[in-house]
Amino acid sequence: MRASLQRARSFAARLVGALHSRRIDEDIDAELQSHLEMRAELLVARGSSHDDALNEAKRMFGNRTYLKEEARGQELLPRVESLAQDLRYGLRLLRRNPGFTVIVVLMLGLGMGLNAAMFSVFHQVLLAPLQLPHGDRLYMVSSHARSVGDARRAMSGPEFRDFRDQNTVFTGVAAVIPTFAESWTGDGEPRTVNCTSPTQDFFNVLGVRPLMGRTFSAAEYANLRNTSLILSYKFWKTQLGGDPHVIGRVINLGGDPSTIIGVLPLMPDLYSDADIWVTLSTEPSWDFMNWRANKFLDVVARLKPGVTPQVAEQQLTTILRRADGEPTDVQAQLTPVRDFVVGPIKRQLDIMMMAVALVLLVTLLNTAAMLLAHSIKRAPELAVRLGLGASRARIRRQLLVEGVLLSGAGGTLGIVLAEIVVAAIRHYSAASLPRMDGLALSGPAIAVSLGVVALSAVIFALLPGTLLQLDLAAAFRGARTQTGRAQRPFGGLIVAEIACAVVLTVGAGLLVRSFLRIQSVPLGYQPERTVSAYLRTNYDSTDGYPFWENVLGAAASVPGATAAAISDCVPSARAASAIVRFADRPNVPGREPSTEGCWISADYFKALGVPLIRGRYFSDHDDAAAPPVVIINAEAARRLFAGENAIGRRIAVSYLSLGSRSTAEPRMREIVGVVSDLRQRAVDLPPGPAVYMPYGQDETYHVLNSMNLYIRGTGADPVALGRSAREKIQALYPNQPVERIRGMREVIATSIARRTYAALAMTGFAVLALLLCGLGIYGVVSYVMQQRTREFGIRMALGAQRSDVLIDVLRRGGVLVGTGLVLGAGLSLLVTGELSQLLFETGATDPTVYLGTALVLAATGMLACLLPALRASRLDPRSALGLQ
């Protein structure tokens, strides 16, 4: 009771003091002045001269300004003035310890910068609302069936029409051909552009209004030969210079003059790669839209208010199962548009976010450890200030100000760094990440970073404050704690830091090991000397044959070329799907084996270096007039013919893609060759069964539209070969685009780019964490060594050997590192399961990686202990004891 009364009174007095601070200043001045005069008077009485006496009095008194501030500190509530003083003092202190300051600010800046940048990406891609009105009611419709492998299946034209005509759950539904290429000629260099083709209602379903002009009319949707088109915002800006009078302009698309009728706003969420939008007609419709097995359409629908996705799925499943030839267990599946767009990347982003958060955690732990060591070094100084009458609150405030200064500087640096990192991400990975248009350092990211800054400032300030309270007595005794008592809070920090670093290193190890495995995977072909290029043409009839023969002739005649071929497939990147039916056994509709399928020219396998196992390659004689033939790979021979000789057997191949313009029963083909397996679809997918057919025998002629050219050479620079080929081809066909000229090694690198990024980024984070860890351990051990100098001196004076001291330090360090390792390994086991999607032929508990991590961390930790320990063991015991 009395205590609180006293507190209240003292508070009131300070309040009054605060209100009258100038009077108080004068009061203190007067009192100190009177003191000095009295002292001087006494000295004069003892025989000093007046001036000497005054100087002596001042000398005896000491630093008046400082004392005045200290005395006044008793009067004032924390005020701007004293805050400025704390700031000045803090700045002076940080300037006096430039190494410490720079390291802490750099660490904080790096940690926070990475975090803010990564969180911006994370926010932009995964969290930011779709830029479509009521985007949460938009769903993508697909199907899956356990009996045929359960993979996500796109929809066919008839399925879309059934949905559109029979559903009662959508306010609107539209189908889209997600992307196909067309040539754009007549405006400079011939190029190919990405087209996206939606059915009527698409723009209404999405709620997208054109920026300029209009969208397609019903009449345009109903015209198979419609030539009007709409531009994407990006294409309009980058290719047509944002021309304000672009509506009505005619450009040559796929050889036909087409009129621009509208420009869309930026659409970062769906089909952001589209350059040009053209109509997809359903009534009347293309043949390829009428074949139920030809599943290549995206279907996007807007759910009616009050209808749940489950109810809609049930109804659509019923609709799907009414059709003939579908697996009986087929299920419709609704995927929110957001998941559809970000699904493939979500796990990877989650992991990156976790990794960066761990890096930040390591940073903060490390900073806390360094600040702790730093402020304990200052304990004697703080104790003196305490003794002079500074309150604990005042000292804590001083520490808080220093913490805020450090973390503020770190945070500022962090935001600058984050801007740079975000710009780099925007620049380098805009293509590999969805929804990246308009990526910027986001408000929430800055807010989170500032929150972390504030929090860390408080922690930094309070941690040493708390410790100081514990250790104040020791500080009074004389600056050197004799025992390991002060080490305890460090132990926890170091262990936590190591545990985090272990998790990051294990993650990086797993990704790098996967990456190395993928690099050494047998591809089944020889990519080194082969170049690929892409040609989009306007041929969809027999006219295409002479064209492609000329292209192949031109390519083969390039000096240094040994083989030239074309195919619709890109090895390690893309292959179409096909369904196989047999001539000599019953075929169950909906259960036919599915394979990879490619249309190729005669020298495809020679150009890629794929060995023939049995039979023969195609020749130029396998053309439209010749008997239909097919080559299969070893995997297909094994799966479809159980290892029996497949040569001479007959199969029919139904091509599942945009290319299937025919609903006619496909022809039976004789198998004439078996080639060894190559990784056709992706480097990280094992080769599946595959069938290859001569492009001259595509009775739909559709493949003539779009082909990849492969040229094998003798030289080391296949890309030069590609460029020469382009010159030769364009000499014959000046309007023919020849694009994406890339060595096959580059094609492979692109196909695994996401894994490469993940492995690189994670390795970067792990190295950073390791560095921080090493730095932290080094700093803390150095500090503890300094604290124990006297103890070591005594022990060595009493006969301990240098090696004893060394062993003692390493033993203590070893315990910390060991504990951190065990803890980190346990944590890793818990979380690396999340990585499994990104791993390749590497278990999430791969012992090599765990062992390697343990070795790397143990080495880092012990090295960081060893350096200060060596210094300690070289102590001269006498000087350590202060005897010299």
Partner 1 sequence: MPRNDALQGTLDLLVLKTLAQLDAMHGFGIALHIQQVTSGALRVEEGSLYPALRRIEHEGWIASEWKTSENNRRAKYYRLTAAGRKQLAREEQSWAQVVKGVGALLRYA
Between the alpha carbon of residue 522 and those of residues 95, 237, 516, 527, 678, the distances in Å are: 58, 43, 12, 11, 8
Smaller CB separation from partner 1, 10 or 557: 10
Identify the H or E element spanning 175. strand 170-185
> Does residue 81 interact with partner 1 by CB under 8 A?
no
Q: Which of 15, 19, 25, 30 touches partner 1 by CB under 8 A?
A: 30
- Write down the least CB distance from residue 875 to partner 1, Å: 32
Structure tokens given for 244: 């304000």
In order, the DSSP letters of 469-516 are: HHHHHHHHHHS---SGGGGHHHHHHHHHHHHHHHHHHHHHHHHHHHHH
Smaller CB separation from partner 1, 70 or 243: 70
Residue type, 45: A
> Does residue 387 interact with partner 1 by CB under 8 A?
yes
Q: Which of 15, 38, 211, 431 touches partner 1 by CB under 8 A?
A: 38
- Write down the least CB distance from residue 478 to partner 1, Å: 14
Residue 305, classed as helix, strand or coil, is coil
> Does residue 75 interact with partner 1 by CB under 8 A?
yes
Residues numbered 295-314 forming contacts with partner 1, rule: CB under 8 A: none
> Does residue 76 interact with partner 1 by CB under 8 A?
no
Longest dimension (CA), the chain: 133
Binding span for partner 1 by CB under 8 A among 36-44, 399-407, 463-471, 617-625: 36-44
Contacts with partner 1, 54-73, as mask; x by CB under 8 A: ------xxxx---x--xx-x
- Write down the least CB distance from residue 461 to partner 1, Å: 20
Structure tokens given for 451: 């929150």
Asked if 22 and 8 count as a contact pair (C-beta separation under 8 A), the reply is no
Residues numbered 736-775 forming contacts with partner 1, rule: CB under 8 A: none
Residue (of 469, 292, 280, 269) closest to 383 by Cα position: 469
Paired with 212 in beta bridges are 263
Q: Which of 230, 386, 533, 646 touches partner 1 by CB under 8 A?
A: 386
Smaller CB separation from partner 1, 471 or 540: 471
> Does residue 39 interact with partner 1 by CB under 8 A?
yes
> Does residue 19 interact with partner 1 by CB under 8 A?
no
Smaller CB separation from partner 1, 62 or 98: 62
> How far does CA 534 lie from the centroid of its chain?
29
Contacts with partner 1, 93-122, as mask; x by CB under 8 A: ------------------------------
Binding span for partner 1 by CB under 8 A among 27-35, 126-134, 736-744, 861-869: 27-35
Helix axes 98-122, 392-429, angle to 10 degrees: 50
Structure tokens given for 884: 């010299």
> Does residue 440 interact with partner 1 by CB under 8 A?
no
Contacts with partner 1, 473-492, as mask; x by CB under 8 A: ---x----------------
Q: How many residues bind partner 1 (CB under 8 A)?
A: 34
Smaller CB separation from partner 1, 44 or 145: 44
> Does residue 823 interact with partner 1 by CB under 8 A?
no
Smaller CB separation from partner 1, 58 or 480: 58
Residues numbered 443-462 forming contacts with partner 1, rule: CB under 8 A: none
Helix-, strand-, coil-residue percentages of the chain, each rounded to 5: 55, 15, 30
Sign of CA dihedral 457, 461, 463, 464: positive
Between the alpha carbon of residue 875 and those of residues 36, 810, 868, the distances in Å are: 48, 16, 11
Structure tokens given for 497: 């830091």
> Does residue 389 interact with partner 1 by CB under 8 A?
yes
Question: How far is 826 from 823, CA to CA, in rounded Å?
Answer: 5
Strands (E), 201-355: 212-213, 228-231, 250-253, 256-263, 276-277, 298-303, 331-336
> Does residue 469 interact with partner 1 by CB under 8 A?
no
> Does residue 34 interact with partner 1 by CB under 8 A?
yes
Residue (of 561, 443, 524) closest to 128 by Cα position: 443
Question: How far is 823 from 820, CA to CA, in rounded Å?
Answer: 5
Binding span for partner 1 by CB under 8 A among 266-274, 388-396, 436-444, 759-767: 388-396
Binding span for partner 1 by CB under 8 A among 33-41, 582-590, 700-708, 766-774: 33-41
> Does residue 35 interact with partner 1 by CB under 8 A?
yes
The residues binding partner 1 (CB under 8 A) are 3, 6, 9-10, 13-14, 27-28, 30-32, 34-35, 37-39, 41-42, 60-63, 67, 70-71, 73-75, 386-390, 476
